A and B are shown apart, each in its own frame.
Chain A
Amino acid sequence: MTPKEGNTKMADHRYGLVAVFDKPGTIMKAAERVRDAGFKNWDVITPFPVHGMDQAMGMGRSRVPTFALIGGTCGFFGGMLMIYFMNYVDYPLIVHGRPYFSPLSSFPVSYELTILLAAFGSIIGMFLLNKMPMHYHPVLKWDKAHYGSNDKFLLIIESSDPKFDDKRTREMLQNLGSLEIDELED
């Protein structure tokens, strides 16, 4: 694909710029510079997890634990309420002379529900935060997208970023040691 530099008609269909790097160290430094330059809508694609990339990209901790905590809490109290309703309100039955409801005998079931809903919470939270399912992404249209799953490291800056400027962003990526810079279409 040929670069469409200066082609103003293509501006509406433009997604952003992709820069190719060949070493994890280089892309780590590049990510730090892009982070410090104040970009918001950008991403890095690497064939394997690079340790420290979260910090280099200025990402905070994952918010999935919050979803797990909410799920777990719902599971525990939901389980307790369910057993209370069934055994105490809806269909009270004396078994072995025990009380209708006891938090002790309800605990194992509530505990299992805690684990179940905490797991659901984690999975749903992960899907929501990753905006999954996502059937199409502009990078997939690029004919060299397979670089990012083989031996190259990709850095993508979206044109929707307020700091994005076609010429200056391209220059910055070049200065960061990129081997190749290409434009992505939406």
Chain B
Amino acid sequence: MSTNTAQSAAMPAATAPVFEPVKASTMALIIGAVGLGLTIIGFFFSGQRAALSALMAFTFWLSIGLGMLFMVMLHHIFDAGWSTVIRRQLEHGLAAIPWLGVLFIPLFIIGVFQPGGVVIWKWLQTDSAYVALDPLFHHKGVYLSTWFFTLRNIFYFGSWIVLAWYLRKASFTQDSDGSTRWTGVNRKLAAAGLIVASLTLTFAAIDWIKTLEYHWFSTMFGVWFFSGAMRAALAVTVILCVVLVRYRVFTGIFTQNHLYELGRLMLAFTIFWAYITFSQYFLIQNANIPEETFFYVVREHGQWQWLGFGLLFGYFFFPFLYLLFHANKVSPGRMVFISCWILVFALLDIYFNILPSLLTADLIPIYSFLSGFLIIDLAALAGVGGICVWAYLRSYVTTKPIPVRDPRILEAINHHV
């Protein structure tokens, strides 16, 4: 809905700072190393809580990576036009997935070997009296066994890494040889990959988050994780693109039209998240069976209740109303604001689903939301995030900022809403 003159004026770069990806990647690596170091120190002081900090930070950044994986595959499967412009940045984002796999190894070791009695997933401790006397555990025993858990985790990361590697390779190779064959290769890969990734994402969310309280039942859990992942990935994409415009990398390439398209997707996934989250709550509230309702009952305890209301208004109502307005979806500053807002609440949503799952014998959450442990959470967040940003920037320097020889790149740059 805007002319070419309006597009370039919409993305002002008053003072163009110089973008130094190599320097920035070193910075990110240092931040990541310091953050991870602080998390390890925290682990020696607070054990389980620091392990959960690491799990939450890992889940948050992995959700962004998986959201990007889905966005790349959705782009290919729909043979989409406009998103060709942003696809390369998403592909760089996929470079973080193998490193997230590496970062999961310590969590896995803590989970399985429970050093110093630190328990993350209590069902991995099969010889404990608590689990041994639990009939529900025995019914779910095969799924909740160490060997199957190990195999599944290897399969999750294996499939994501292989998918990310092939998608990136085909796209990067097209830059050099210009063959349209790679577009077809990626489309076929996306068709198979979407099925595999949907299943692995669902089961990964169940294995890492839902089984923290394995007595609970919900058929919505995987979709909940997917909707949050898409929202977080879209928010990061908006921030990345606006920053690249600011550094004059994306000037004249990423226009108001692309920003508007991203804004519309953000609005759609805001509604989608609300739909899924409400459906999960509503089905449980309506059925009113204790086996299911306890999940929300414990989350009505103390500070968690306020966080729940916070998510309702901050993660749905505010972004929904904000993104309804056209003016907010075409302004880079306003889009970056709502992206940061959504990212904060995406993290709080992960908090809300992970932390209150650990209960005392009286079914009261062990940990409250506000506590001194938030420092360890921030350290873990910076630690995992630093490694992800480092991986992104390390990949960023290897290619051009857009897929220059993609058959749809001209159409994408000239995209008109």
In the complex, A178 Cα to B75 Cα: how many Å?
A: 43
**When chains A and B are docked, how far (Å) is the Cα of A69 from the Cα of B321?**
11
Judge whether B1 is part of the interface by a CB distance below 8 angstroms. Answer: yes
CA distance A105 to B281 in the complex (A): 11
What is the CA–CA distance of A55 and B6 in the complex, to the nearest angstrom?
Answer: 10
Q: What is the total number of residues of chain A having a CB less than 8 Å from a CB of chain B?
A: 13
- Whether A96 and B288, one on each chain, are in contact in the complex, defined by CB atoms closer than 8 angstroms, is yes
B326 interface residue per 8 A CB criterion: yes
State how many angstroms separate the Cβ of A46 from the closest Cβ of chain B.
16
Tell me, yes or no, whether B155 is within 8 Å of chain A by CB: no
> Is A48 part of the contact surface with B, judged by Cβ < 8 Å?
no
Assuming the contacts A55-B2, A61-B1, asked whether A104 and B324 have C-beta atoms less than 8 A apart, the reply is no
B309 within 8 A of A: no
Chain B residues in 8 Å Cβ range of A51 = 416
Chain A residues with Cβ below 8 Å from B15 are none
Alpha-carbon gap, A48 to B321, bound state (A) = 34
Interface residues on B, range: 10 to 19
Cα of A52 to Cα of B281 in the assembled complex, Å: 45
Which residues on B sit within 8 Å (CB–CB) of A54?
1
A69 to B286, CA, bound (A): 30
Query: Which residues of chain B come closer than 8 Å to A55, judged between CB atoms?
Result: 1-3, 6
How far apart sit A104 and B324, CA to CA, in the bound complex (Å)?
23
Complex contact B3–A65 (CB within 8 A): no
Residue B282 at the chain A interface, CB threshold 8 Å: yes
Contact B282 A104 (CB under 8 A): yes
A-B contact count (CB 8 A): 23
Contact of A52 with B3 in the complex, beta carbons under 8 Å: yes
Q: Chain A: which residue is nearest B326 at the CB level?
A: A61
Q: A107 interface residue, CB < 8 Å from B?
A: yes
State whether the Cβ of A108 lies closer than 8 Å to any Cβ in chain B: yes
Please provide the chain B residues from 77 to 117 with a CB less than 8 Å away from any CB of chain A in the complex: none
* Pick from A61, A65, A107: contact of B278, CB under 8 Å: A107
* Shortest CB distance A167–B (Å): 32
B300 → A minimal CB distance (Å)? 14
B285 within 8 A of A: yes
* A-contacting residues, B251-305, CB 8 Å: 278, 281-282, 285-286, 288
Cα of A51 to Cα of B415 in the assembled complex, Å: 10
Max chain A C-beta neighbours (<10 A), residue from B3, B282, B285, B416: B3
Chain A residues whose C-beta falls within 8 Å of the C-beta of B2 in the assembled complex: 52, 55
Q: A97-112: contact bitstring with B at CB < 8 Å (1 yes, 0 no)? A: 0000000110110000
Cβ-closest chain B residue relative to A108: B282
Q: Which A-chain residue is minimally distant from B325 (CB atoms)?
A: A65
Residues of B within 8 A of A108 (CB): 282
The reply to whether B3 and A107 contact each other, CB–CB distance below 8 Å, is: no
Query: How far is A151 from B1 in the complex, measured between Cα atoms in Å?
Result: 24
Chain B residues within an 8 Å CB radius of A107 = 278, 282
Q: Which residue of A lies closest to B275 (CB)?
A: A111
B326 cross-chain contacts in A, Cβ below 8 A: 61, 65
Contact with B along A57-76 (1 / 0, CB 8 A): 00001000100010000000
- Contacting residues, chain B, for A105 (C-beta < 8 A): 282, 286
Within 305-334 of B, Cβ neighbours of A (below 8 Å) are at 324, 326
Chain A neighbourhood of B278, CB < 8 A: 107
- Residue interface mask A38-59, B partner, CB < 8 A = 1: 0000000000000110111000
Find out whether the CB atom of A104 lies under 8 angstroms from the CB atom of B285: yes
CB-CB nearest in chain A for B285: A104
B285 partner residues in chain A, CB cutoff 8 A: 104
**Considering the complex of A and B, which 8 residue pairs feature the smallest CB-CB distances, nearest first?**
A55-B3, A51-B416, A52-B3, A104-B285, A104-B282, A54-B1, A61-B326, A55-B2
A residues lining the B interface (CB < 8 Å): 51-52, 54-56, 61, 65, 69, 96, 104-105, 107-108
Known: A52-B416, A61-B326, A65-B326. 6 other contacts (CB 8 A): A55-B6, A61-B1, A96-B288, A104-B281, A105-B286, A107-B278
